[in-house]
Chains A and B, each alone.
Chain A
């Protein structure tokens, strides 16, 4: 398994290079940072000075090579909007995003799987109907709308939680719930389906015939097998989670990388966009690797293949 992980890690730089290239080209082709940074009535001297500072007078391939060269030295470049290195700017904001994504994912996974199990165990009963209906409703509810409803209810009506901002645990609740709502319904529905499927499998029937309790069979035989599809889905949906965190961060004024990224794109602040995209790409790649390793640990069949 160590060899597998090493092979996967060896491909990471290639993925990152492709990501860097795509980001660079799209940003450079769709807008000139000089126009956006300087006022509409900028002077030609100012334009020349800034163009030179950002190497924009060079052909695009040369610009990319300069960028790569700096990157090899661990330097994303100076941010245009911020004072300071782009990597530092992104680093400052990464903590908030990881905190939000971690809480959201944990909540979605925990509640989603639990809900799915409840649905499967009490299949076609009241609990199943209610949870499945909620899941479908949740799936079709856009985050920004849900966010506004949550703020209205918990902050304005009940005064339990702050409307927005970054700070103690109370500030985290609503954003985490909003983010979790994107993935939770899927986790619940997938868990439900796979648990129901597994309950009919022979090894489950055998376990019951041996005299194991329903709970015991569920926990030791069904659940580990049911988790695999959930994990596969999680691996695919990490991108969705990041996209969702951009919206969530905006609604709740959460100072994370998602909002930073959007802002930097508007300003064509290429160093910061590249650094953010890198951070996100690395996080997703590593999380995917973790998912694969977990799956291998759970299911010997994947290990052999």
Chain B
């Protein structure tokens, strides 16, 4: 009797112990830091897009460095200055076997444009008027004005199946996404994991492994532990202070790339004395960015060179240099400007929104205090920060990160009046921004953005601090994975050794 029970137990347990590896073939496990609450398309988070792009492809895809490549659109050309024609890849099938056609693209773009959808990434293709099918494999995307960032914007929009939406409805699609992507939905457990199987019929190279498991592990040290223990092969967002632990584990390494997020401290230039550019400049001299980069960011990332753009982004101005650290000069400049050293300067920041945000603010606060400025750090919760931001009441100095995803347009808009995110404004900057947005001439655009960056450097509406790093932990047991600047998981080239 006892033996029989033991036998039954063993039979029950056996699949638990061996099942995953044995029956299902090769499997890849990813430890995700931020896990979206649902698989609904169009939320504003890249964590969400990262999961959605496993099952669905955009027309134009980005690579880890931010370069654009044909995806569902095999090629494209301008028909007139406000119409782009896309030629779809033929014989691409959704995972239910239905062929992708121009109708799906038209449907997707229509869905994105409909305000009722509340598609948060709409702004990425904000100037688009609509899309129309020319024939089964050709789509024209019309824009309201000349729209130079159309391709880059479309790389954030996944193409979804029209027939599937019509059959099951948007809620059911969110519960069980289906697309043309490299993986096929298998199971989604909110707050725990997402399981997918590889799409053997993928139009590009199908993944070399069979199962993909993306687990949420919100705590940084637990994530590292799961990598080192071999439970996961890739983890997102290695905490800066655990980089050494990963590299010294003997079983995994940290992969790093610069993101396009420029971390800045923005002034409210309507609050005196910060209306004076000399005061703002003096603050810039007071901050030892090299020290913060070395000590807090452990050398990861880069120092912004007097501009919001990170190195290499279209429009980045190579002639500008960070002012450098000179506290004596900072203090002298403040004295010359008649600065009242009793002015309280609270630095408003969120905690955990950006890498080491609060730590960096504390360091900046300390450095300002050293030259006699009464600086304090005011940490607020995300929702409260949003509210203060909308009311334009973030105080004299606040921390924020602006991402560009490769094109200056997306980050430079925050220094225009239309961006509604800074009180500082400059007529020349405004007109250059409009000009750069209204031409498809790349050379002209770069020239305009370069000049705009020079204006930012000269006027110092923000203290331009760091380009933030994107850090992944990668097991030595796999090949072919690279850190992504935009933090989207690209797993088709991963080989399990």
Give chain A's interface residues, CB within 8 Å of chain B: 30-32, 35-43, 45-46, 48-50, 53, 79, 81-84, 89, 92-93, 144, 147-148, 151-152, 155-156, 159, 162-166, 168, 250-253, 255-256, 259-260, 263-269
Contacts and interface: CB of A to CB of B under 8 A. Distances in A.
Interface string B103-125: 00000000000011011111100
A41 B413 contact: yes
Interface of B: 16, 36-38, 40, 43-44, 115-116, 118-123, 126, 170-171, 174-175, 189-193, 215-219, 221-222, 225-226, 228-229, 231, 381-384, 386-387, 390, 413, 419, 421
Contacts of B419: 41
A32 B390 contact: yes
Nearest to B116: A49
A82 B123 CA distance: 22
A152 B116 CA distance: 48
Interface core residue of B190, B222, B381 (most chain A CB under 10 Å): B222
Contacts of A42: 120, 122-123
Interface core residue of B119, B123, B218, B387 (most chain A CB under 10 Å): B218
Contacts of A79: 37
A36 B123 contact: no
A50 B221 CA distance: 37
Given A45-B115, A148-B221, A253 B215 contact: yes
Nearest to A148: B221
Contacts of A38: 44, 118, 120
Contact of A43 (B43, B126, B216, B217): B126
Nearest to A44: B115
A263 B225 contact: no
A144 B222 CA distance: 10
B221 A151 contact: yes
A162 B231 contact: yes
A255 B38 contact: no
Contact of A50 (B43, B118, B189, B193): B118
Given A39-B123, A41-B123, A253 B222 contact: yes
B222 A163 contact: yes
Contact of B229 (A31, A36, A49, A163): A163
Contact of A36 (B228, B382, B421): B382
B118 A164 contact: no
Contact of A163 (B192, B231, B384): B231
Given A37-B43, A163-B225, A263-B37, 5 more contacts: A31-B387, A35-B386, A48-B115, A84-B171, A266-B381
Contact of A83 (B44, B175, B225): B175
B226 A163 contact: yes
Contact of A166 (B44, B170, B192): B192
Nearest to B115: A45
Nearest to B34: A263
Contact of A30 (B115, B175, B383, B421): B383
Given A253-B218, A259-B218, A156 B390 contact: no
A134 to B, nearest CB: 24
Nearest to B418: A41
A37 B44 contact: yes
B383 A46 contact: no
Contacts of A163: 222, 225-226, 229, 231
A152 B118 contact: no
The 5 tightest CB contacts between A and B, nearest first, are A31-B383, A81-B37, A41-B123, A255-B191, A255-B192
16 contacts: A30-B384, A37-B43, A40-B44, A42-B120, A42-B122, A48-B115, A79-B37, A83-B174, A84-B171, A84-B175, A151-B222, A163-B231, A166-B192, A252-B222, A253-B217, A255-B192
Given A37-B120, A92-B190, A250-B219, A30 B381 contact: yes
Nearest to A259: B191
A43 B171 contact: no
A180 B191 CA distance: 23
Contacts of B217: 164-165, 253
B222 A266 contact: no
A164 to B, nearest CB: 5
